[in-house]
A and B are shown apart, each in its own frame.
Chain A
């Protein structure tokens, strides 16, 4: 069994205030006192070392978190991203002094374009959702330039939550269409939703149920014929590399997640990178600057009047791009395809091992992820997806994504990735089956081996204690 340390650490920020010494700051701007951590360096390291032991990362064990592609983060990429030649450069340096990084960025754009079947890429967006927002703004600028007023974005009910949020952020009305009985896009529903007001249709293929939509060409034609654009959410790219591309499927614009598909670490919630690729007709709308190769030199250029401008300061999370670039170079065409094949094989194999004991809706052939329903367990003895997830932790397995997608009752979305060994997959299945037979009381009160027991999320939201400062002021 897995076990975490149970030592509770005092908050390092919970300290007394100190008087600020005198400085040249004008009197009316002088600060009087400040309460900041005050412990020796050895204590800082020990504190965070103990906190680290209360955390679970990809290196700790299986992490089949659906739609998050928690693959192994190669250590050579860590080494490269910490090189001084990568870290000690200022974004406004003369372009002649940053040719190395510009070459890497240019080549990365070329390679991503090929993987996506697109004509050009921007590396600027700092995460997947940020890429979606950037892409939606480009789509908006494109329609506006063509003198069209389109104010709706359509997406299926299986879409990632960021899709509707990104479209809404840019002021679009979001229209969610129900999925067909087999989990794919309901073409009739799409046909009746599409109109002159449609700016784009957002889709990930395979979708969040792990279903590859065979009708994708027909869908793309339907959308394009209405003058709208096809948007590809690349969160599920790991299922298609070397098999197909968003471009070949008929998409016009796509975002990738370098911190998913290309092995860059998630960092406990970033920094990530969400580069966006476009077909030729959208190139003028890409954020500025763009990188061009002129003879042997790489140059950063303003992208002209139609460009949407900037989505983030400077050029993007280049340190994350660098890790993804290293991964892509190391893997090559064959390696990327192999990653896809193995991730799809692992997902189907795990599904096969689970299908007797758990309900697995929407067809038998999955791609890189699949959704299990714990509805049978819930009906039988009240054990919910949440409980099973928490109990998995006791066995050293990170839970799958739960309660998403919302169209499956008590959903548990597994994405084992290519980096799960057969031994790990057998074990995940064995533990899942074991949990379904365990005493419900035991499961409902899990986990036991973690630094804390089941956390009270309702209280957290009710109290809204978000800092030691607030806590201190409240106490006084």
Chain B
């Protein structure tokens, strides 16, 4: 038996990711810059008053997720691509169990997404005059969305890092997987914005949680195949 626990190994991977990210800040810069830029463009060109009152619930929730999804796409592929680029993948492959690698990288992407959401969502609400009645509902939708998006982006990042490693391929492979997720996220956000009742977001939330859970479980099983071929 191996002396170290899976948890300690996963945390070691996560710690390594955080340390290198804090020193290089490549992913943080990419995601933050992309998020802020699109947010500013949207807020400047559309702003709170350009949208008709009846269109607000639909448009505002959709625009928010367009910004969040594309900002996330610009940085989340790096967790695995950088290992291949720097030739550290093989060193890591020989030292760590696949599950620990996946868990560490998944948690890292989750942290990046949470950071992105906490940065962009309040700014978006302020700049676009987006009033959210059910704050708890919104937080739940965002949290479930982060869990699910982190799962799909981590496994797709692992796949593309073994292929060409291009961000284009990352987007091509991600879009069909996350489209149903995005639709449910937009729906859930709209429901949360419109009602204080938690029951309003429940249908969407159930869908997001079950899709996120399914993606996560399947990814855990598929990851060793992708990582070791």
Do A and B associate with each other? Answer: no
Residues of B within 8 A of A (CB): none
Write the residues of chain A forming the contact surface with B, with a CB cutoff of 8 angstroms. none
